[in-house]
Amino acid sequence: MTMNTASATPRPPDAAPHPSGAATHSDRDARPGAADDERLRRWRLVLGGDGEEGTGRGLAGRDAAMDGALTALYGGGARPGGRNGASRSAGLGASAPSVARWLGDIRTYFPGSVVQVMQRDAIDRLGLSTLLLEPEILESVEPDVRLVGTLLSLNKAMPETTKETARAVVRKVVDDLEQRLATRTRATVTGALDRATRTDRPRHHDIDWNRTIRANLRNYLPEYGTVVPERLIGYGRAARSVKKDVILCIDQSGSMAASVVHASVFGAVLASMRALRTRLVVFDTAVVDLTDQLDDPVDVLFGTQLGGGTDINRALAYCQSKITRPADTVVVLVSDLYEGGIRDEMLKRVAAMKASGVQFVTLLALSDEGAPAYDHDHAAALGALGTPAFACTPDLFPEVMAAAIEKRPVPVPDKEAPADSLPLTPCR
């Protein structure tokens, strides 16, 4: 049998026409011989392989996606996240497609009971249990954000004896991210909090010259070509009391694994700042508040469950219920915007929060991997509300937070520029 070596499962729309003329489910049920056609379809899924595999029955749309997910696990020569012929210990990092994507796909195409079996099979058949059990094997692979996403995706099917090893790997990645991001994030956000506090008796290096000049234009002396500043306007110093509330609302579907990792780290960094009150909410079709675990990002990550459906409206309803000071609140939604809930209600909630004074930011991703597949219609609808949706790198995130805190235009990467040299253009 010819084995499919594809490791990542596509997400084609169910209604898309197939070039071979393969029928959709509705077409199949509407014509004579539908029972025979369905029987051939099932045999084709059982047999796997390329082409029609002797059945005369091709696959398209959702059936092709299901076949790809099954072949990646049971095809014999490939594994989720791996390449044909590659060693099993080298395919979970950035050099190969992510196992987390495959796990998200099987949750899409199969019921929960089947998903549990497939996850156990993925560990047993493909040697993943050995990878997770042996610290020296994990140490031989370069830990990265993708590997963390993989481990988190396998978390619920992982034996208890392996979790300490997995936590050690996650801890190393989280510590590296914190070391890289924490200092700059604190400095940038603290500066924004200081600038957001105005004073009429600023220190010299804290004077806001643009505002000062505008406030004193009536004192312009044309013979000297200068303005006499009777009134100085400048930046104050943020007091120790809480100045801003920040709510991070994170989509934990399978494609958002890297974003969940980075959001957890940033959540912990922001939570360590006394001038901010930070809340971290993760969601699929359910909503989980992980704020009480923000002192340890590793606990936050193991409290997530990657994959499953998405109900953004429900998550935003929960976040909205936690807002007590709208004018001093920043809400950051990190999601690919594929909404399984009520679309119109979701948009109404965003509009209501913005109308009340909330600074609302939408990120399609918070990672170095660029923008994922996302719902363009929902992104456009949010943009029309004054909330542009864009993919944000970890290095840009502190600037995004600073802009939101100061209530100025958020720096949005230029979509036309190369990914490695994105200039920033303000967008209201």
d(C-alpha 265, C-alpha 297), whole Å: 6
The confidence score (pLDDT) of residue 270 equals 92
Helix or strand (DSSP H, E) at 316: helix 312-321
The confidence score (pLDDT) of residue 368 equals 84
Task: Return the structure tokens found at 196.
Answer: 């957001």
The confidence score (pLDDT) of residue 40 equals 76
Please give the full DSSP string across 147-181, using - where no structure is assigned: HHHHHHHTGGGS-HHHHHHHHHHHHHHHHHHHHHH
Q: Is the pTM of this model over 0.75?
A: no
**Domain parsing of the chain, residue ranges:** 25-158, 198-235, 241-427
Task: Return the structure tokens found at 75.
Answer: 């095809």
Task: Return the structure tokens found at 277.
Answer: 């009150």
d(C-alpha 388, C-alpha 380), whole Å: 8
| Strand partners for 330 | 246, 359
d(C-alpha 159, C-alpha 139), whole Å: 19
Q: Tell me the CATH number of domain 241-427, given options 1.20.1300.10, 3.40.50.410, 3.10.28.10, 3.40.630.30.
A: 3.40.50.410
d(C-alpha 175, C-alpha 298), whole Å: 9
d(C-alpha 274, C-alpha 238), whole Å: 10
Which residues lie closer than 8 Å to 209 by C-beta, 6 or more apart? none
Tens digit of pLDDT at every position of the chain (428 positions): 333 433 344 444 443 333 333 444 444 444 546 777 777 777 777 776 665 555 666 677 777 778 777 877 777 544 454 444 333 332 333 323 346 567 677 878 888 778 767 766 776 676 665 555 555 555 555 577 877 887 887 777 777 767 777 888 889 889 999 888 888 888 888 877 766 666 666 667 677 778 788 888 888 888 888 888 878 776 655 555 568 999 999 999 877 888 999 999 999 999 988 888 999 999 998 999 999 999 899 989 988 877 778 899 999 999 999 999 999 999 999 999 998 878 899 999 999 999 999 999 999 999 887 777 899 999 999 999 999 899 999 999 999 999 998 888 888 886 533 333 333 334 43
User: Can you tell me which residue has the tokens 């957001």?
Assistant: 196
The confidence score (pLDDT) of residue 421 equals 35
d(C-alpha 319, C-alpha 251), whole Å: 13
d(C-alpha 243, C-alpha 233), whole Å: 20
- The DSSP symbol for 133 reads H
The confidence score (pLDDT) of residue 384 equals 94
The confidence score (pLDDT) of residue 269 equals 92
* Helix/strand/coil for 214: helix
Closest CA to 107 of 252, 280, 315, 302: 252
d(C-alpha 100, C-alpha 154), whole Å: 8
d(C-alpha 205, C-alpha 191), whole Å: 13
The confidence score (pLDDT) of residue 342 equals 85
The confidence score (pLDDT) of residue 290 equals 94
Helix axes 343-355, 376-384, angle to 10 degrees: 30
Closest CA to 364 of 382, 349, 352, 351: 382
Angle at 340 between CA 335 and CA 345, to 5 degrees: 85
| Strand partners for 359 | 330
